[in-house]
Amino acid sequence: MKLCEMTAYELSAALAERRVSAVEVVKAVFERIDAWEEELRCYITLDREGALAAAREVDAERAKGAKGTKGAKEANSRPLAGIPVAVKDNLSTRGLPTTCGSRHLQHYIPPYDATVIEKIRAAGMIVIGKTNMDEFAMGSSTETSGFYPTRNPWDTARIPGGSSGGSAAAVAAGEAVLALGSDTGGSIRQPAAFCGVVGLKPTYGLVSRYGLGAYGSSFDQVGPLARDVRDTAMLLQVLAGYDPLDSTSIHREVPDYLAALGGDVRGLVVGLPQEYFSPGIDSGVRAAVLAAVKVLEEGGAIIKEVSLPHTEYALAAFYLIAPSECSSNLARFDGIRYGYRAAGAPDTVTMFCRSRAESFGPEVKRRIMLGTYALSSGYYDAYYLKAQRVRTLVKQDFDKAFAECQVLVTPTTPTTAFRLGEKINDPLAMYMTDICTIPVNMAALPAISVPCGLVGGLPVGLQLIAPVLQEELLLRTAYYYEQAAAPLSHCPKPEPKPEPKPSSEVSK
């Protein structure tokens, strides 16, 4: 197996034993990027020089540790030191462009790191580059990126999901070992499902949002994408924790997530929400998820049918609340302090209007207008306030369900990955791809997507949902399933482009 296809856990052991160097691991990842990136387009920005310099520093520290100096303790306390990580391009990185997938911020280079970036750097992890995403995280396919779409490594004619599509595709293809994403309505879990990797959306407030480009501030959460559950737990360990720079950050001691793995599911009460297995879910996806439930049941879990009756209203409520928050958050991108500024405007108001009109894509404009309308005088009570009341009902549904069970199991997505261009001109069809993930964000719950098989050669995601701050239970259940079932070990390779025909054949 190539270094770029190994898990972070495996690489961590190899690095600690000095069987391989961080420089070798980083070079292996860049070799894969050089071979596949032209086809996949996972990244907006690569930092080859910075990554190799950071890798050399990690190797130097380990060399000191081998000689019995202070470096030994540091090496043992930083198990992910030397592991390459891809970063979604809405997380601020000092000295490295942060575009949020938008041409408005195409040339913006932040003067500071997001808190999660500070944490991964302190852990010795190597930032490979910034991954492609839907513009300002508004999309479900990475097709609304201001630069280019990303392709799914399992089938390059298909989307990788969104908005963290670049991060998910990079991990699936070996263009990164780990990745960071953000999840507002499913933007970690949905692409994880489509790309056959693991994606975790933590409890709201568990991971700092400081330095994250805001879309819907009451929903947004940073989280890990990885090849397996163990790697996910290791990265969450680095990311989680209180941050005084984030007013929504939860002040509590961070558990040992890696230690939570192991054990069985005997006696675990698993709830199956009937609303998530409706005829709207593809039959192949439903069968794969129910087969995964059978694995848990055979392990001693107690399966119980439950109901989340307000699920059908969650999508509509989300697409009133999130755009309302987006219309406020994106007001800062005015072309005055930083970002794109239209040339030749006769006054400030015209410049402001032109700058946003010229640099924002159609999906961003659509959501700004929808949110502004919902918040406008005379419509606030009818739309925004009513949507917030529905949000409360959705949360109460989960509270009632968790009074009967410990974990909920659903499909992550209603279908497998769809084709590029298939839904881009149908916003409602695109929004429906997040129907299984959005309610979790509305209730501020943790959830994880784990691969649970293939349908038509494409990955299917199993979504596990737990009560607030029950990431240990979530990871333990996901890990049990992953070990009991046959995990997806296939690292897909993009189909080669057809060789051009000689001119003589073309003329025929």
Residues 331 and 399 in one domain: no
pLDDT of res. 432: 95
Instruction: Answer whether residue 9 shows pLDDT above 70.
Output: yes
Mean per-residue pLDDT, 8-32: 97
The 407-411 sheet, strands edge to edge: 43-46, 126-131, 84-88, 178-182, 222-226, 198-201, 447-455, 458-465, 407-411, 269-273, 302-306
209 and 290, same domain (yes or no): yes
> For residue 117, what is the domain's CATH number?
3.90.1300.10
- Is residue 106 a part of any domain in this protein? yes
Annotated catalytic residue within 163, 182, 208, 359 = 163
Q: Does 147 fall in a domain?
A: yes
Instruction: Examine residue 503 and say whether the peptide bond preceding it is cis (omega within 30 degrees of 0).
Output: no
- pLDDT at residue 439 tops 50: yes
Q: Do 321 and 443 lie in a common domain? A: no
Q: Is the pLDDT of residue 23 over 50?
A: yes
pLDDT at 496: 56
302 and 335 assigned to the same domain: no
Q: Of 347, 375, 403, which residue is a domain's last?
A: 375
88 is catalytic: yes
Per-residue b or e along 393-409, where b marks 16 or more CB atoms closer than 10 Å to that residue's CB = ebbebbeebbeebbbbb
pLDDT of 65: 78
pLDDT at 96 over 90: yes
Per the structure, the complete domain to which residue 233 belongs is given by 3-309+395-484
pLDDT range class, residue 378, cuts 50, 70, 90: confident
Rounded average pLDDT over 60-81: 74
Residue-wise pLDDT for 217-256, tens only, equals 999 999 999 999 999 999 999 999 999 999 999 999 999 9
Q: Are strands 269-273 and 222-226 parallel, antiparallel or unpaired?
A: unpaired
Residues 42 and 191 in one domain: yes
Instruction: Render pLDDT for 337-372 as a digit per residue (tens, 0 to 9).
Output: 889 999 999 999 999 999 999 999 999 999 999 999
- Nearest to 442, CA basis, from 417, 465, 475: 465
pLDDT digits (tens, 9 = 90+) for 446-504: 999 999 999 999 999 999 999 999 999 999 999 999 999 976 766 677 765 554 454 44
3-state DSSP percent of the chain in helix, strand and coil, to 5: 45, 15, 45
The confidence band for 291, taking pLDDT boundaries of 50, 70 and 90, is: very high
Residues 289 and 324 in one domain: no
On whether both 122 and 168 belong to a single domain, the answer is: yes
Instruction: Quote the pLDDT of residue 507.
Output: 33
User: Residue 505 has what pLDDT?
Assistant: 36
* Predicted local confidence at residue 74, as pLDDT: 53
Domain check: are 362 and 404 in the same one?
Answer: no
In a domain, 456, yes or no: yes
> Does 41 reside within a domain?
yes
380 within some domain: no
- Determine the pLDDT at residue 475: 98
* Per-residue confidence (pLDDT) for residue 489, from 0 to 100: 63
Q: What is the mean pLDDT of residues 405-420?
A: 98
pLDDT at 508 over 50: no
Tokens representing residue 82 in the block: 């030397």
Q: How confident is the model at residue 72 (pLDDT cuts 50, 70, 90)?
A: very low
* pLDDT at residue 310 in the model: 97
pLDDT digits (tens, 9 = 90+) for 269-279: 999 999 999 99
Nearest to 136 by CA among 326, 340, 317, 316: 326
Q: Establish if 175 belongs to a structural domain.
A: yes
Give the chain's mean pLDDT. Answer: 94
The three-state secondary structure class of 409 is strand
Catalytic residue, candidates 187, 208, 355, 359: 187
Q: 């990431």: which residue's tokens? A: 471
Are both 32 and 106 inside the same structural domain?
yes
The pLDDT value given to residue 1: 80
Render pLDDT for 463-478 as a digit per residue (tens, 0 to 9): 999 999 999 999 999 9
Residue 500 included in any domain: no
Tell me: do 421 and 453 sit in the same domain.
yes
Prediction pTM value: 0.94
Chain center to CA of 183: 6
Domain boundary among 326, 346, 375: 375
Q: Is 187 a catalytic residue?
A: yes
- Straight-line distance from the first to the last Cα atom of the chain, in angstroms, rounded to the nearest whole number: 45
295 and 326 part of one domain: no
Using DSSP's 3-state secondary structure scheme, residue 339 falls into coil
Query: pLDDT, tens digit, for every residue of 421-437?
Result: 999 999 999 999 999 99
Does the annotation count 365 as an active-site position? no
Boundary-marking domain end, from 375, 408, 431: 375
Number of domains in the chain: 2
Question: Which pLDDT belongs to residue 137?
Answer: 98
320 shares a domain with 299: no
Among residues 88, 130, 201, 423, which one is catalytic?
Answer: 88
Asked if the structure places residue 496 within a domain, the reply is no
pLDDT of 492 reads: 76
Q: What is the pLDDT of residues 171-196, one digit of tens each?
A: 999 999 999 999 999 999 999 999 99
